[in-house]
Amino acid sequence: MITVVTGGSRGIGAAVVRKFAQAGHQVYFLYRSSHQQAQALCRETGAVAIQADVADEASVQAAFSRIPSVDTLICNAGIAHYGLISDISSAEWDRLFAVNVKGVYHCVRAALPHFLHNQAGNLITVSSMWGQAGASCEAAYSATKGAVIALTKSLAKELAPSGVRVNCIAPGVIQTQMLSNLSSQDLQALSEQTPLGRLGTPEEVADAMVFLASEAARFITGQVLSLDGGFLL
Active-site annotation holds for 141: yes
Cβ 224 vs Cβ 152: under 8 Å:
yes
- Tell me which residue of 163, 172, 171, 165 sits closest to 222, measured CA to CA: 165
Per-residue three-class SS string for the chain: CEEEEECCCCHHHHHHHHHHHHCCCEEEEEECCCHHHHHHHHHHHCCEEEECCCCCHHHHHHHHCCCCCCCEEEECCCCCCCCCCCCCCHHHHHHHHHHHHHHHHHHHHHHHHHHHHHCCEEEEEECCHHHHHCCCCCHHHHHHHHHHHHHHHHHHHHHHHHCEEEEEEEECCECCHHHCCCCHHHHHHHHHHCCCCCCECHHHHHHHHHHHCCHHHCCCCCCEEEECCCCCC
Backbone torsions φ then ψ of 6, nearest 5 degrees:
-95, 150
Annotated active-site residue in 28, 82, 105, 141? 141
Give me the active site residues, please.
Answer: 141
